[in-house]
Amino acid sequence: MARQKDKLKSKSEGAKGSVESSSSDEEGQPTNDEGVVTPEETTEPTEDDGLDESSKLEQFETKMKEAIDLATQKAAAGRVKALESINNGFLKRYCPDFVENQKMTICDLVDKSLKKGKGGEVEAAAKLSILLALQLPDSEEVYKELKGLMVQIVTDESASPAARAALATSLGGLCFLGGGDISEVVDTMSILEGIFSASFSKPEWSLPAFPPEIQALHYSCLSAWSLLLTLQSSGEVYSMANSTINKLQGLLLSNDVDIRIAAGEAIALVLEFAYDHDEDYEPEGFDALIDTIKELATDSNKSRSKKDRKEQRHIFRDILRGVEEGDPPAEKIKFGQEVLVLDYWYKKTQYDCFSKVLGSGTNNHLSTNYMLREVFELGAPLPSFDVNAASKLTKTQRHAANALAFKARTQARGKKRDKRMVV
Q: pLDDT tens across 101-110, in order?
A: 999 999 999 9
* Average pLDDT across the chain, whole number: 83
In tens, the pLDDT along 63-85 reads 999 999 999 999 999 999 999 99
For range 15-20, the mean pLDDT? 34
Q: Are 313 and 298 in contact (CB under 8 A)?
A: yes
Dist. CA 328–CA 324, nearest whole Å: 11
Q: With H, G, I as helix, E, B as strand and everything else as coil, classify residue 340.
A: strand
**Residue-level length of the chain:** 423
pLDDT of 14 over the 50 cut: no
Dist. CA 87–CA 81, nearest whole Å: 10
User: Which segments of 143-185 are extended strands (E)?
Assistant: none
pLDDT > 90 fraction of the chain, expressed in percent and rounded: 67
pTM above 0.85, yes or no: no
pLDDT of 36 over the 70 cut: no
Select the more confidently predicted residue: 30 or 348: 348
In tens, the pLDDT along 157-181 reads 999 999 999 999 999 999 999 987 8
Q: What is the dihedral of CA 259, 263, 264, 267, to 10 degrees?
A: 180
Hey, what amino acid is at 80? V
The CA-based angle 330-358-41, given to 5 degrees, is 150
For residue 107, what pLDDT is reported? 96
Q: With H, G, I as helix, E, B as strand and everything else as coil, classify residue 261.
A: helix
**102-106, 114-118, 199-203, 327-331: least confident range:** 199-203
For residue 6, what pLDDT is reported? 47
Q: Are 160 and 122 in contact (CB under 8 A)?
A: yes
* Backbone torsions φ then ψ of 340, nearest 5 degrees: -100, 120
In tens, the pLDDT along 208-258 reads 778 999 999 999 999 999 999 999 999 999 999 999 999 999 899 888 999
pLDDT band at 204 (very low <50, low <70, confident <90, very high): low
Bridge-partner residues for 31, per DSSP? 37
Residues in CB range of 266: below 8 A, 6 or more apart: 222, 225, 226, 229, 248
For range 45-54, the mean pLDDT? 62
pLDDT band at 20 (very low <50, low <70, confident <90, very high): very low
pLDDT of 308 over the 90 cut: no
pLDDT band at 22 (very low <50, low <70, confident <90, very high): very low
For range 267-287, the mean pLDDT? 96
